[in-house]
Structure 1
Amino acid sequence: MTSTLPTPTQHATHAVENQPPPLSPYDASDNPALLEGLRREGAGWAEEDLRGLGAHAGSPEAQEWAEQADVNEPVLRTHDRYGHRVDEVDFHPAWHSLMRVGVAEGTFGSAWADERPGAHVARYAALQVWGHTEAGHGCPAAMTYAAVPALRHSPALAAAYEPGLTSRVYDPGLRAPEGKRGLLAGMGMTEKQGGSDVRANSTTATPTGEDGVFTLRGHKWFTSAPMCDVFLVLAQAPGGLSCFLVPRVLPDGTRNTFRIQRLKDKLGNRSNASSEPEFDGTVAWLVGPEGRGVRTIIEMVNCTRLDCVAGSSTLMRKALVEAAHHAAHRGAFGTRLLDQPLMRNVLADLALESEAATTLTMRLAGAADRAARGDEAERAFRRIGVAVGKYWVTKRAPGFTAEALECLGGNGYVEESGMPRLYREAPLNSIWEGSGNVAALDVLRALAKESGTAQALFTELATTRGADRHLDDTVARLGRELSDVDGIQARARRVVELMALALQASLLVRHAPAPVADAFCATRLGGDWGNAYGTLPAAADVTAILDRAAVGR
């Protein structure tokens, strides 16, 4: 029997329509809040370089590096082919490309060797721009930068290692530090029995008889970037908890004992290796006074906490850029998403949150820069401001990223969009260097025990007294909350949230256009806001806010 059915054709069943073009290439530095903060905080001289870095960060090449570094995770090699213990971690070439640019562009330790005012501001701006690629390599950047002020507690060690830590040359591979053109630093504080309670650490440090030289024995629970050249480690010495410098390779070229038991299988930050090293006869040099380990390493922790604030700010900006790009090119129900009132409300609300995070980050970067140059008032403000920002900005990132992902709908839920990588990354900074409770209590500790911090905060807030009634009411309420010390630990999150919102609002009132500042104060402080993004009131100038954010073009 002969079939009468038509012969199937090989034509495509559909055409690809109504899909946005690739975002890349784009300029990751095209962020008015960031550029204005750069100039305002004393680093306008770095703008040309920052714009060049922005073009590089948004290039197809760099975005491909980011994807490849995340997909091709680091691999631990405990032994070589002959059975010798090597404890090395192998990284994909894309990781090394990201690191090479990051070091060369000043996102690691070079600001400490730059005498220009604003050098640290320029570093934090570059960090937020280059961070549009991939967040994992920001971990060794943060630790290398933060190691320098801690190491300065021992001038001889600083003289030996600081030139390498401040170099703009990426020189990977385990070799004697003295022979390398550039060094990376890590830190080892956390142990499995203590977590943030580092005074519960059980790693021991035994004097060798040589001045300042000890041997360590113990196990660390979270030590990221184990391929670094040197580590600052806490251990219990005879005189109490102390800070030590541990090189991976000793001056004579032999490997120090640094047995990597395993790499962590993490939610996000997949490109960066986080390890559990074991010390057993590991040679270490004392940094700072014996028994003062926390005080010695706290400067490093304060620096890395500011990097957490910057990292979350960067993540939020990147997520906003992705969401707005999609909305600008995707149509639904007869019009572009970006032209639909409710989507515009969502994006404008996200833009407010992103600008507040960026503006606070740049203010803190300015304080860090001036504190490094001896300004005691700025040092006090940096101390309280970083603790507040660490709690609040990092806490905002997960919900923000989820909302931005939702702007892409189902397209945002698939890996190739890049949004799941941002979503997995979002919780990290609120956990790293002290989770929410630790950060909130650290704010109370700074207010109670460190002279000048409360005054620095309220002096900052006083600059906008009378400019906005919602802000004035919030500052007054904050004063009442702080004066009521009964049960304040249980209210710590509530109090720190008030501090953060007041500080962000004050900065926006001073530095942002009125539509941005007014909408932020009315919603975050005045209560004219819902429980989700996209609930800005009718009075909000959504068009001005979106134009200000420079997204969706």
Structure 2
Amino acid sequence: MNGLPPFETHLVENQPPPFEPRDLWEDDAALREAVAREGAGGFAPRLAVYGALAGDELYRIGFDANRDRPRLRTHDRFGHRIDTVEFHPAYHRLMEAAKTHGVAGLSWHEPEPGAHVARAALSYLHHQADAGTSCPLTMTHAAVPVLRREPALAAWAEQAATPLYDPRDLPLAEKAGITLGMGMTEKQGGSDVRANTTTATPDGDGYRLVGHKWFFSAPMCDGFLVLAQAPAGLTCLLMPRRLPDGARNRFALMRLKDKLGDWSNASSEVEFRGALAWRVGEEGRGVATIIEMVMLTRLDCMLGSAAEMRMALAQALHHARHRRTFGKALVEHPLMANVLADLAIESEAATTFALRVARAVDAAPRDPAEAAFARIATAIGKYWICKRAPAFVNEAQECLGGAGYVEESILPRLYRQAPLNSIWEGSGNIQCLDVLRALAREPETREALAAELESVAGREAGFDAFVAELMADLAHAGEAGARNLTERLALALQAAVLMRAGTPAAEAFVRGRLSREQGWAFGSRPGIEMADTLLARALPA
């Protein structure tokens, strides 16, 4: 125009290349080593397939599933009540991939030693691509062993375990595979489920539910485990979405929760208006029945938080390797390298501990000592790893500067997601009280902790001193000090797993976490040992 040459207003330079595609399995040495160490090495080829899928297609469509959130349609255009939740197609593809590859059922449809560890690794890989779909996948997985104990519900258990995804709203007999949700929490009760007021009135072979749930998770599922007051007390029941004859069950979705994060998944409020349900476990033993599932759901909380840390670390390290500041790559600045190395240590500790607990869960039916360890370690790990995730993700965001605060990166989604696992399946205080309860009432859990820590005694003086003081304090632990005790137990167990693994992170973890050389923020201990080695191990260049 006016004879002036065209010009560019700016050049795009000094920007990292796209993160994806990446192979989330091949990139993660700590995960691969933990899977082999904890007895699931035979599943490695299948994990490799899913790691490549999760780091490419599933990673990309995860943005779509979170951007276009679920929508509740209570009625169709003619005025009929339908209570349907609509999702972006990306959600269904994520669910299909996960269910097909065993994220929700590998432990059950291929029940060989190591299957729980492999399923845990699948869940960890999937969660990095999309966290929201992990909710129905986790609940579906955890419900199977409980439902299998009820002969009348065996078909529900097998359909939940099968590696097929079928999103159609049909009765069980017409489904290729199903998903399961849960409804435990009521307005007046929260974690105190014994305060629930929903009633379950016997009606033939089933019960009729009247009441509400304040959090009704994954309302698009085919069936839901709920707690309600039956004549003998609080009872666990399975409520189907569709009755055997195909009719809608008598419940109404009132609204979807407008949540901080977890946007690809739907959570709702519901009213039961005489809905049919079938008893799971003994009448009046609802809490005991649900507790059977808690070990599995808590493990997935650990895995989810560890996965969020892992993805945040990978994003930060990828950015720092390609971004140049003051004449050199960001990662070459000693202070930034120290922060990244400390994040790598924390991430590896979370991953290795979660997979160690998965091995205990796997072995629990065969080994009483591992069952005792799983019983208490899930509460310890659920408390600590989930507490660490929000601060971890925020530190990783800061490594990207303003770019980490923009929705086009995955960091804001991770940051919104990070607090969820510390709230879901029992908040931090609930976990710490459970640790105290186990130590006081189940002496085998104390013995399992001692055996785990003693297995690496004598390798690090700092570790030995920390453990000696910790074990002395177990005898007089009180409620007010439960968080302090649980935190120290978690740190000691993480150190033990890293030391047993012989990982480069072990020494730095002991010095930074057990000796208190480190300050409050990540990267505050100067001169972390082998920082270059830790970063090379954390993510291949």
User: Which of the five TM-score ranges fits, normalised by the shorter chain?
Assistant: over 0.9
Q: 1:41 aligns with which of 26, 38, 42?
A: 38
State the Cα distance separating 1:37 from its structure 2 match: 1.0
State the Cα distance separating 1:358 from its structure 2 match: 0.3
Q: 1:420 aligns with which of 396, 409, 412?
A: 412
Aligned to 1:475: 467
Q: How does 1:150-169 map to 2 (within 5 A)?
A: 150-157=146-153, 159-169=154-164
Report the 3-state secondary structure (helix = DSSP H, G, I; strand = E; otherwise coil) of the residue aligned with 1:358. Answer: helix
Letter in 1 for 2:102: G
Deviation by residue 1:266-307 (Cα, 9 ceiling, x = unmatched): 000011000011101010111111110000111122211110
Measure the CA separation in 2 of the matches of 1:284 and 1:136.
27
Measure the CA separation in 2 of the matches of 1:122 and 1:327.
31
Q: How does 1:105-504 map to 2 (within 5 A)?
A: 105-157=101-153, 159-208=154-203, 210-211=204-205, 213-371=206-364, 373-485=365-477, 488-504=478-494
Report the 3-state secondary structure (helix = DSSP H, G, I; strand = E; otherwise coil) of the residue aligned with 1:416. Answer: coil
Q: Is the 8 A contact 1:153 1:296 kept in 2?
A: no
TM score, norm. by length of structure 1? 0.96
Q: 1:544 aligns with which of 533, 538, 541?
A: 533
Measure the CA separation in 2 of the matches of 1:9 and 1:454.
78
Measure the CA separation in 2 of the matches of 1:149 and 1:411.
44
- Give the unaligned 5+ runs of structure 2: none
- Give the unaligned 5+ runs of structure 1: none
Q: Is the 8 A contact 1:176 1:252 kept in 2?
A: yes
Measure the CA separation in 2 of the matches of 1:148 and 1:56.
26
Letter in 2 for 1:201: N
Q: 1:97 to 1:541 in 2, by over 3 A?
A: same
Deviation by residue 1:156-211 (Cα, 9 ceiling, x = unmatched): 31x22122011111001211112211010111111111101100101011011x24
Report the 3-state secondary structure (helix = DSSP H, G, I; strand = E; otherwise coil) of the residue aligned with 2:59. Answer: helix
Measure the CA separation in 2 of the matches of 1:55 and 1:494.
40
Runs of 4+ deviating beyond 6 Å:
none
Report the 3-state secondary structure (helix = DSSP H, G, I; strand = E; otherwise coil) of the residue aligned with 2:97. Answer: helix
Letter in 2 for 1:275: S
Of 46-55 and 424-433, the range deviating more from structure 2: 46-55
Measure the CA separation in 1 of the matches of 2:195 and 2:135.
25
Of 530-539 and 283-292, the range deviating more from structure 2: 530-539
Q: 1:523 to 1:230 in 2, by over 3 A?
A: same
Q: Is the 8 A contact 1:109 1:146 kept in 2?
A: no
Deviation by residue 1:104-135 (Cα, 9 ceiling, x = unmatched): 11101232121321111111111111222110
Measure the CA separation in 2 of the matches of 1:220 and 1:539.
49
Aligned to 1:82: 78
Deviation by residue 1:133-158 (Cα, 9 ceiling, x = unmatched): 1100000010000001222332331x
Aligned to 2:51: 54
Q: 2:497 aligns with which of 507, 510, 529?
A: 507
Letter in 2 for 1:402: N
Q: Is the 8 A contact 1:202 1:236 kept in 2?
A: yes
Report the 3-state secondary structure (helix = DSSP H, G, I; strand = E; otherwise coil) of the residue aligned with 2:214. Answer: coil
Aligned length: 540
Measure the CA separation in 1 of the matches of 2:416 and 2:502.
31
State the Cα distance separating 1:418 from its structure 2 match: 1.5
Letter in 2 for 1:303: L
Report the 3-state secondary structure (helix = DSSP H, G, I; strand = E; otherwise coil) of the residue aligned with 2:480. Answer: coil
State the Cα distance separating 1:465 from its structure 2 match: 1.0
Aligned to 2:512: 523
Measure the CA separation in 1 of the matches of 2:440 and 2:108.
30
Q: 1:257 to 1:32 in 2, by over 3 A?
A: same
Measure the CA separation in 2 of the matches of 1:359 and 1:539.
20
Letter in 2 for 1:206: T
Report the 3-state secondary structure (helix = DSSP H, G, I; strand = E; otherwise coil) of the residue aligned with 1:10. Answer: coil
Deviation by residue 1:329-367 (Cα, 9 ceiling, x = unmatched): 000000001111111101100000000000001101111
TM score, norm. by length of structure 2? 0.98
Report the 3-state secondary structure (helix = DSSP H, G, I; strand = E; otherwise coil) of the residue aligned with 2:429. Answer: helix
Measure the CA separation in 1 of the matches of 2:245 and 2:319.
55
Q: Is the 8 A contact 1:446 1:453 kept in 2?
A: yes
Of 173-182 and 8-17, the range deviating more from structure 2: 8-17
Measure the CA separation in 2 of the matches of 1:490 and 1:281.
43
Report the 3-state secondary structure (helix = DSSP H, G, I; strand = E; otherwise coil) of the residue aligned with 1:285. Answer: strand
Report the 3-state secondary structure (helix = DSSP H, G, I; strand = E; otherwise coil) of the residue aligned with 1:68. Answer: helix
Measure the CA separation in 1 of the matches of 2:17 and 2:133.
28
Q: Is the 8 A contact 1:173 1:227 kept in 2?
A: no
Q: 1:92 aligns with which of 65, 68, 88?
A: 88
Measure the CA separation in 2 of the matches of 1:346 and 1:160.
51
